[in-house]
Amino acid sequence: MATVYIGIDVGSISTKGVVLDDNFNVITYEYLRTKGRPIEAVLNLIKIFKERVGNNVKFGGVGTTGSGRRLAGVMIGADIVKNEIIAHAIAASHFYPNCQTVIEIGGQDSKIIILRNGIPVDFAMNTVCAAGTGSFLDHQAQRLGIPIEEFGKLALKAKTKVNIAGRCTVFAESDMIHKAQLGFPIESIIAGLCEAIVRNYLNVVAKGKDIKPLILFQGGVAANVGVREAFKKELKEEIIVPEYFLVMGAIGAAILAKEETNGRGSRFYGFGISNCEFNTKAIECNGCANRCEIIHTYRDNELIDIYGDRCGKWSGG
């Protein structure tokens, strides 16, 4: 019976999952839109893996990451719940041991991780602003009626350059509309947008960081060839988009899960949980002026987790 490792990355826009074998080869992976329903997305992933992998496997370890890592971890019985910065760094140095820079742009956040000798030595994440991340590209693609998959390719067809303000998405959008009304072709505007995103990233997130080759570009936005090209042009370096760029976080979580369990076997509840029903209930505690929001998680109407209180009144310490 083969041993498998599962990694799940619940992001703001998409939920990613991956099944690895003992040597960290990808058996199967899946990328789903979260659509604001992380529980459903996680259950769907498990269902898909159940069909693809079958029941005749042993679970060596399960890890969750991403902004929804905690909830996902509680639901499926993860061995390790790790933040996405470390997960991405682990996966990047696994596939490219000599990688020194990881550019990751996801749905709502963008980050840069600086690695030296496979060890993360510095990182930064966008702080108060999410300009230039995947959800903005998504929104623009929708506004222009172009499938997001085609969006980047259009940028490559641009013959002229258009300057788009990249600091703020609101300004970027009005700038795009304005340039369209001046008569610029749509390809040039999209190319300008890709450049603006890269400029914004380098000036805000990657400000003051030592960007050295090899440079990996991962996360959902790496699918956009327009942004890839813009990075290449701006950094004057080769940009490598790994084969599994969409699920690197999930791969990192799975690798970390193996390190965590170290052959002890997993706490994972098994593929059967895709048939369970999960509910959450949020209440505002009126015990004090802090008004904590308490989240109760139920599996088949059985309470399995309480989270969110500061004082420990609900979660018991």
Partner 1 sequence: MKKRIGIIRALLYYRYGNFFINFFKYLGINYLISPETNKELIDLGVKNSSSEVCLPLKIACGHLLYLKDKVDYLFIPKIIYPYEKLYTCPKMMGLPTIAWYFCGKKKIISPTIKRNFFLPLFFLGLKFKKNPFKIISAYLKAKEKKENKKLSFDNEKLKVAILSHFYNIYNKEIEDILIGTFKKEGFSVYLKDDLDEKILRKKDGFAKNIRWAFERELYNAFKYYSDKVDGICFFFSFACGPDSLIGEMMAKEAKEKKIPFLTIIFDEHSGKEGMITRIEAFCEMIKKKKSL
Say what angle helices 148-156 and 134-144 make with each other, to 10 degrees: 90
Q: How many residues bind partner 1 (CB under 8 A)?
A: 21
Choices 56-64, 77-85, 235-243, 260-268 (CB under 8 A): range interacting with partner 1: 77-85
Would you say 106 and 220 are in contact if contact means Cβ atoms under 8 Å apart? yes
Q: Looking at residues 35 to 74 of the shown chain, list those that interact with partner 1 (rule: CB under 8 A).
A: 67
Instruction: Check residue 13 for interaction with partner 1 (CB under 8 A).
Output: no
State the minimum distance, in angstroms, from the CB of residue 288 to partner 1: 7
| DSSP secondary structure, 52-67, as one string | HH-S-EEEEEEEEEST
Among 160, 290, 300, 304, interactor with partner 1 by CB under 8 A? 290
Instruction: Check residue 83 for interaction with partner 1 (CB under 8 A).
Output: yes
Sign of the CA dihedral 70, 71, 75, 76?
Answer: negative
Distance CA 111, CA 126 (A): 6
Q: What is the pattern of x (binds partner 1, CB under 8 A) and - over residues 181-210?
A: ---------------------------x--
The residue among 1 and 128 lying less far from partner 1, judged by its C-beta, is: 128
Choices 6-14, 162-170, 274-282, 285-293 (CB under 8 A): range interacting with partner 1: 285-293
Among 127, 181, 286, 301, interactor with partner 1 by CB under 8 A? 127
Distance CA 68, CA 250 (A): 12
Within a 13 Å sphere around the CA of 228, how many CA atoms are in the beta-carbon half? 21
Instruction: Check residue 136 for interaction with partner 1 (CB under 8 A).
Output: no
Phi, psi of 137 (to 5 degrees): -60, -45
Task: Tell me whether the omega of the peptide bond preceding residue 214 falls within 30 degrees of 0, making it cis.
Answer: yes
Please report, as ranges, the residues that interact with partner 1 according to CB under 8 A.
67, 82-86, 117, 119-123, 125, 127-128, 208, 288-291, 310
